[in-house]
Structure 1
Amino acid sequence: MLKQRDGAAVETAAVEAFRRAFRGEALLPDDAGYDAARRIWNASIDKHPGLVARCAVTDDVIRAVNFARENNLLVAVRGGGHNVAGRALCDDGIVIDLSALNAVSVDPARRTVTVQGGALLGDIDRATHPHGLAVPMGVVSKTGIAGLTLGSGVGWLVRKYGMTCDNLLSCDVVTASGELVTASETSNPDLFWGLRGGGGNFGIVTSFVFRGQPVSTVLGGLILYPRDKAGEVLRFYRDFIASAPEELTAYAGLISTPEGVPAVGMILCYCGDLTQGERVLAPVRAFGTPMLDAVQPMPFPAMQTLLDDAFPDRTYNYWKSTFLKDLTDDTIDLLIDHANRVESPLSGVVVEYYGGAASRVGHGETAFAQREAKYNVGITAQWTDATENAKHIAWTNALADALKPYSNGSQLLNFLSEDNQDVIRAAFGSNHARLVELKNKYDPANFFSLNQNVKPRA
């Protein structure tokens, strides 16, 4: 049943009037297709919305926002549905679902890419690659572009071309008042600032315009070693990546093979000249005795799918992250010790090195504040049996707690499984006060609350 925030049921006549005017599908709990519409990738999230509004046109988004505001509904916004915290869903309220709004168009002359808010990264790659262009995005093709961008966006091109939000040129946004506005450097620039890393606090982005970067074929892939070589591999990775050219993005991970064998690996993406890339990667490929060296030239869209199988649909997930002050020997030893205690072969610990273009953006130029951070540790617990929830969550929290002395005190919010106001405030740092002012201007009633929420002043 569709309920207001205070628990009162919404009148049937109001719901039916909304459904008649709605161009897309407006699904109630008894409708065919409702159960599929309320499921997302993370099986840990099991919520029952009162209404799922699957928008077919931008006017549907506006209509759903107005209906929700007029009926005092809790609102969740679904783009790709890949956010680990499950913010794409809610109980009893309305889900404004953009997944059918997934069109992508490319202007190769201007090198711009226009993307609707429900598109996935794979949708964008399919449209841009024939033009020799790419948008710097994430690392899993099933991820939604909207949540990724609004939370910052880190992927294979981050060191050369910056974060996804750094490549954003403009947005069309439906605000809490139901108004469709454009945000860019010249139109509503304060809102544009907040959308680049401030999460979904200020409205529903129905369309993004990105700068396309000249990337077509990259030199990339995975190199795997036995887990007992983890100390040597992680120290080599730390020393090598610190002086590597910005065309190279490389992550290290304490993971398991598809057969469940514990391993340590590096995954590499070089986006410059391939001949030069072979020379750059030669020391990596000569290091140690790997179990697997799958580095090769490949189309960039193939690079974007390499990790898809590592995050299968409908597993249980609980994630955390922390930005490190540095990747010291003590930190490496701690990571290995905790990774060796993992009880699911799907779980892993990933070390991401940033630096480069993303770090040259000023701390206050966008809402994303952690520009000085070089290393992010992602702790990604995944498992298949719901009865094991407690032990996998405990493993994640134990490693996060152990890393606190080495952390800069902040987390990457797109990795956050829980809503924690102290963590959110710390992540935004000195930008938080400005975000509060922006929230008061565009959403003073906190209509958009299911996000990395910045609360307005009372």
Structure 2
Amino acid sequence: MREQIDQAALEELRRDFKGQILLPSDPAYNDARQIYNGMIDRRPAIIAQCNEVEDVVQAVLFGRKHDLEIAVRSGGHSVEGWGLTDGGIVIDMRKMNSVRVDPVARIAYVGGGATWRDVDSACQPHDLATTGGTISTTGVAGITLGGGWGYLARKLGLACDNLISVELVTADGSIVVTSEEDNPELFWALHGGGGNFGVATSFTFRLHHLPATTLALLVFSPTEGPNVIRRFRDVIERSAPDELSGEISYMTGPPEDPVPPELVNQLCLFLELFYVGPEDEMRKFINPLMELEPEGVMISELPYADIQSAFDMEPGLRNYWTAQPLEVLSDEAVELFCKRAYDMIVPSNSIQVLSSWGGAIARQDDKWPMGNRKSAWLVYSFGQWTDPADDKRGIAWANALCSDMIPHATEGTYLNLITNEGRERIIAGYGRQDKYKRLARVKAKYDPHNVFHMNHNIRPD
């Protein structure tokens, strides 16, 4: 936009806008443009901090009228920084973060800018919950629209499986409510199709009674990796109920319990186990893992909201992630996984993770667009470091881990945990070409000009 058009247009936008319009000259601008990944440094022309749905409508129409690239920001955790644009307009949803819980109907009404911390803290007093991410500061919108795997997924399904309805502002400024009864094809697309179809301004979730949850952390020397992982695999695949889930990670040992002093700031093996139920029940299922005599142990019955925030990570670090679902966790895959950990940057906040899927995740594989749900395991590299000089090494390790897994993997991926890896990987995230083509038809109906392309983009058919 030319400057004289800028001023007149901005005055018009500000006149009825209930939120705040930030420009590069405003004192709050730099803080408002900070996102989770410190590698991303973009300067939008406008940050539109929305207070209500009509603000979102105005921001979308303004961006289109003035040919500005549109980015939508809620939690700001996208590893590609898709909540931020250079020279365009950011629709900042963070002020639309209200959460209202109906404990009798077991329903949560969630604003499009809410984080999982907002949801969990509102549900906890009622002993209710729904599946969220594993870090409480992530946005509800991004995780849910991309699928929504978290601690409760083996028991309750993905976040998107618990959706009742979604309100969306589409590319032409229309406000559309979707559910299995209203606009069902769009509702189907929102189960894994990401932010391709509009700006999600509110969600309605089905909640579940959750009176007790237990967290166990077991710490081992890194050399114990193959033995521990094989035992973990056997527990999950042979005897674990859907209530039990877990991740095994190589990481830098933090200076806190239950990490022993000799593993602080050293590579260590971390087994994180989550159980929907009391501690005494959990111990029955994890006894084969306790027999391996971990060097550090913490087992505690904790509120779900506390477990959700236990592993929150600071924003601003340099981030690079990628992921690969596994069809079978073979002994060879275990050995490759363990060997690759020694290429990780240590000390750093990076983690190399093997996560248990299955259970309720797999039971709706054909109903919704998100694919690869029958994969029993997910390997992902979650790279985080501080020094730009480590970028090349960190990215190489992350990519090499998933390359190692290809002979043992499905052909798909989990889109919420990968970078921009090309169109074929996006299609692979849906598992089948027909699902992608159906999504492309929905995209053509609601966003034929691909206005919302700051995402794992589905091209309009």
Whether the TM-score (by the shorter chain) exceeds 0.5 is yes
Q: Distance in 1 between matches of 2:4 and 2:156?
A: 49
Q: Does 1:297 align with 2:317?
A: no
Gaps in structure 2 of 5+ consecutive residues: 255-263
Q: Secondary structure at the match of 1:136?
A: coil
**What is the match of residue 453 of structure 1?**
457
Q: 1:186 corresponds to which residue? A: 181
Identical-pair percentage? 38
Aligned partner (choices 267, 271, 294) of residue 266 of structure 1: 271
**1:20 Cα deviation from its structure 2 partner:** 2.7
> What does the per-residue CA deviation read over 1:134-165, in whole Å, with 9 as the maximum and x for residues that have no partner?
11111101111000000001111111100000
Deviation at 1:119, TM superposition (A): 0.6
User: What's the CA shift for 1:16?
Assistant: 2.4
Q: How many residues align?
A: 448
1:374-453 to 2 correspondences below 5 Å: 374-430=376-432, 431-453=435-457
Aligned-pair CA distance for 1:191? 0.5
Q: What SS does structure 1 have at the residue aligned with 2:270?
A: strand
* Among candidates 345, 351, 364, match of residue 354 of structure 2: 351
Quick check: 386-395 or 236-245, which moved more?
Answer: 386-395
1:133 to partner: Cα distance:
0.0
Residues 61-100 of structure 1: pairs in structure 2 closer than 5 A: 61-100=56-95
In 2, are the aligned partners of 1:129 and 1:216 still within 8 Å (CA)? no
2:196 to 197, 201, 204: 201
Question: Aligned AA for 1:107?
Answer: D
Q: CA deviation at 1:40?
A: 0.6
1:228 alignment counterpart: 223
Partner of 2:259: none
1:428 is paired with a residue of what secondary structure? coil
Supply the AA of the counterpart residue of 1:278. Answer: R
**Distance in 2 between residues matched to 1:220 and 1:395, nearest whole Å:** 29
CA deviation string 1:301-347 (max 9, x = no partner): 11101211xx3211101000001121111111111111112123321
Q: Aligned-pair distance for 1:394?
A: 1.5
3-state SS of the aligned residue for 1:118? Answer: coil
3-state secondary structure, aligned to 1:293 = strand
How much has 1:417 moved relative to structure 2? 1.9
Alignment of 1:70-219 (within 5 A): 70-219=65-214
Task: Give the 3-state SS of the residue equivalent to 2:431 in structure 1.
Answer: helix
**Corresponding residue of 1:324:** 326
1:46 is aligned to: 41
Residue identity in the other structure for 1:251: E
Partner of 2:372: 370
Q: TM-score, normalised by structure 2?
A: 0.94
Instruction: Single out whichever of 243-252 and 399-408 deviates more from structure 2.
Output: 399-408
Give the CA deviation at 1:217.
2.2
TM-superposition CA deviations, 1:389-419 (whole Å, max 9, x none):
1121122122222222222122111111225
SS at match of 1:403: helix
Alpha-carbon offset, residue 22 of structure 1: 1.3
TM-aligned CA deviation for residue 386 of structure 1 = 1.5
C-alpha separation in 1, matches of 2:4 and 2:33: 20
Q: Distance in 2 between matches of 1:121 and 1:373?
A: 25
Quick one: which amino acid aligns to residue 264 of structure 1? Answer: L
Which SS does the other structure have where 2:274 is aligned? strand
User: Matched residues in 2 for 1:367 and 1:406: separation?
Assistant: 23
Q: Quick check: 1:221–1:303 contact (8 Å CA) kept in 2?
A: no
Q: Distance in 2 between matches of 1:313 and 1:81?
A: 10
Matched-pair contact (CA < 8 Å) for 1:217–1:297: yes
Using the TM superposition, name which of 78-87 and 397-406 deviates more: 397-406
- Counterpart of 1:255 in structure 2 is 251
Q: Which runs of 5+ in 1 are unaligned?
A: none
- Could you tell me the TM-score, scaled by structure 1's length? 0.95
Rounded to whole Å, the distance in 2 between the matches of 1:362 and 1:319 is 24
Alignment partners' CA distance in 2, 1:198 and 1:335 = 30
Distance in 1 (CA, whole Å) between partners of 2:161 and 2:78 is: 20
Question: 1:48 aligns to what SS in structure 2?
Answer: coil
The CA distance in 2 between the partners of 1:419 and 1:207, in whole Å, is 29
Q: Is the 8 A contact 2:163 2:204 kept in 1?
A: yes
SS in 2 for 1:397: helix
- Residue 437 to residue 10, structure 1, CA distance change in 2 (3 Å): farther
**2:202, 2:46 → 1: CA distance?**
23
* Distance in 1 of aligned mates of 2:337 and 2:207: 36
Q: Distance in 1 between matches of 2:372 and 2:431?
A: 8
SS of corresponding position for 1:14: helix
Q: How many Å separate the matches in 1 of 2:279 and 2:207? A: 20
More displaced stretch, 132-141 vs 409-418: 409-418
Contact 2:50-2:92 at 8 Å conserved across structures: yes
Cα-to-partner distance string for 1:65-118 (whole Å, 9 max, x where unaligned): 111111121110001111212111111000000001100000011000010011
Q: CA deviation at 1:38?
A: 0.7
